[in-house]
Structure 1
Amino acid sequence: MLYLPTAPWLHYVGDAAAWLVAAAGGRWVYRQRRASVEGLARQTDPSYFVTLAIGGALGAWLLGSLNTLRDARPVLSHSIAGALAGAIVAVELWKLLRGVRGSTGGPFVVPLALGIMVGRWGCLFAGPADQTYGIPTSLPWGIDLGDGIARHPVQLYESLAVGLFLLVYARALRAGRHWATAHGFHVFVLAYAVQRFAWEFLKPYPPLIGPLNVFHLTMMGLCLYALVWIARGNRTGGAAAQGGALSVPRPDEQPVRDLP
């Protein structure tokens, strides 16, 4: 068992660090894929980003609190998984109302992945008060967060899993792989949801349906969302290659508006 000194205020240090690296990731995306960022700006307006922010904030607090208010120590809380789900719902509604087709998420993949990677370390060092800790384990890398119990470091599991995805994604993007340029955001959502679904079994969260907690169900919804987008893009692209469609979905950083 490994002992880790913790303090609740370190969560805020982790949040600040996550925002900083996410901003650095955004700058990298702008420098390396400037056309994609400028394409997004041309197809949207400030209301897009306001909608994204509101949806993310509402989703974060709604799902986070829905989970922790059912705990033995009910508290208001927020969640990155809820923020991602809320932002997606809000943006898809915005796109529907504005007639924007295709994905607008491509430029956000790197900043999101970096933010999650670093932010999870803040959750770890915040200790038991953060309520993101894992269940007890006898594995040699179990971590004592100050309560004398060796626990799964689920925060590190998630950080490493997202980091692995980011490495694969960056290499694929540099090589111009179709999945990275056309469905980078959807593959990110799918990868995040799958790994998060797995780690949820290592957390002491109250179940909602059978053994599944609120985040299990949320991750299932995100998987469905990503798979539908990927399948629709592949189907439409295949039809276009055979002359069966008038247009094909743009890469996920090049959304288009419906014609009047």
Structure 2
Amino acid sequence: MIHLPTAPWLHYVGDLAAWCAAFVSARWVYRRRRTSVEALARQTAPSYFVSLALGAATGAWLLGSLNTLRDARPALSHSIAGALAGAIVAVELWKWMRGVRGSTGGPFVLPLAVGIVVGRWGCLFAGLADQTYGVPTSLPWGVDFGDGIARHPVALYESIAMAVFLGLYWRALNKHRAWATQHGFHALVLVYAVQRFAWEFLKPYPVLIGPFNLFHFVMIGLGVYALLWIARGRTGAVAP
């Protein structure tokens, strides 16, 4: 068992580090991926980013709180999964109302992936107060968050999974692979949904149906969304 020093305020340190890392990544995209940035600018308007931000904030707190308010220790909470889902819903509604058919998520892949990889370390070191810890385990890498119980470090699992995706995406982007240049955002959403769906079985969240909690169903929705976009792209139904 690994004994980990934790403190609730470290969650905010992780959030700050994630935002800084995402900002640096966004600057790189702006300077080195000008084609995708210019395409985004042509398809959108300032209201696009307002909708994105409002959707992300609403989804983060709505889904996060719907989950934790059903816990034995009810509390308001926010969630990166909820932020992603809320932003997607808001953006797709914005695009539908303005007749935008193409994908606009490409420039956000690197900042979002980097932010998740870095930010999950803040969740890990925040410990039990963050309510993102895993169920007890007898595995040698089980982490003691201060209560003497070895638990799955699910935040670390997620960080590693998304770091692997980030490495594969970076390599594919440099080689101009079609999946990275045309459907990078949908690949990100799909990978995030699959790995997060798996880790949810290792969290002590209240269930809704059978063994599935709220975020299992959110991940199913995100996965279907990503697969539909990828399928439409293959048939030429939408612009990349």
TM-score when scaled to structure 1? 0.91
- Give the equivalent residue in structure 2 for 1:56: 56
Q: CA deviation at 1:249?
A: 3.3
| Residue segments in structure 1 that go unaligned for 5+ positions in a row | 237-247, 252-260
In structure 1, C-alpha distance between the alignment counterparts of 2:77 and 2:128, rounded to whole Å: 14
Q: CA deviation at 1:235?
A: 1.4
Contact preservation (8 Å) 2:232, 2:238:
no
- Give the equivalent residue in structure 2 for 1:173: 173
In structure 2, C-alpha distance between the alignment counterparts of 1:49 and 1:210, rounded to whole Å: 38
- Give the equivalent residue in structure 2 for 1:218: 218
Paired residues for 1:1-260 under 5 Å: 1-236=1-236, 249-251=238-240
Which ranges of 4 or more aligned residues in structure 1 deviate by more than 2 Å?
248-251
In structure 2, C-alpha distance between the alignment counterparts of 1:227 and 1:128, rounded to whole Å: 35
In structure 1, C-alpha distance between the alignment counterparts of 2:4 and 2:198, rounded to whole Å: 24
Contact preservation (8 Å) 2:152, 2:202:
yes
In structure 1, C-alpha distance between the alignment counterparts of 2:87 and 2:172, rounded to whole Å: 25
Q: CA deviation at 1:32?
A: 1.6
Q: CA deviation at 1:28?
A: 1.1
Q: CA deviation at 1:42?
A: 2.1
Q: CA deviation at 1:47?
A: 0.3
What number of residue pairs does the alignment pair up? 240
Q: What is the Cα-based RMSD across aligned positions, in Å?
A: 0.8
Q: CA deviation at 1:209?
A: 1.1
1:27-74 CA distance string (max 9 Å, x none): 111122012112211221110000000000000001000000000000
In structure 2, C-alpha distance between the alignment counterparts of 1:54 and 1:217, rounded to whole Å: 22
DSSP 3-state at the match of 1:6:
coil
AA matched with 1:231: A
- Give the equivalent residue in structure 2 for 1:240: none
In structure 2, C-alpha distance between the alignment counterparts of 1:77 and 1:209, rounded to whole Å: 21
Q: Percent identity?
A: 76
DSSP 3-state at the match of 1:208:
strand
AA matched with 2:144: D
In structure 1, C-alpha distance between the alignment counterparts of 2:113 and 2:224, rounded to whole Å: 20
| Residue segments in structure 2 that go unaligned for 5+ positions in a row | none
AA matched with 2:109: V
DSSP 3-state at the match of 1:187:
helix
1:181-215 CA distance string (max 9 Å, x none): 11110011000000000000000000011110000
AA matched with 2:206: P
In structure 2, C-alpha distance between the alignment counterparts of 1:96 and 1:42, rounded to whole Å: 16
Greater radius of gyration (CA): 1
TM-score when scaled to structure 2? 0.99
DSSP 3-state at the match of 1:136:
coil
Q: CA deviation at 1:250?
A: 3.1
DSSP 3-state at the match of 1:196:
helix
AA matched with 1:167: G
AA matched with 2:79: S
In structure 2, C-alpha distance between the alignment counterparts of 1:182 and 1:223, rounded to whole Å: 17
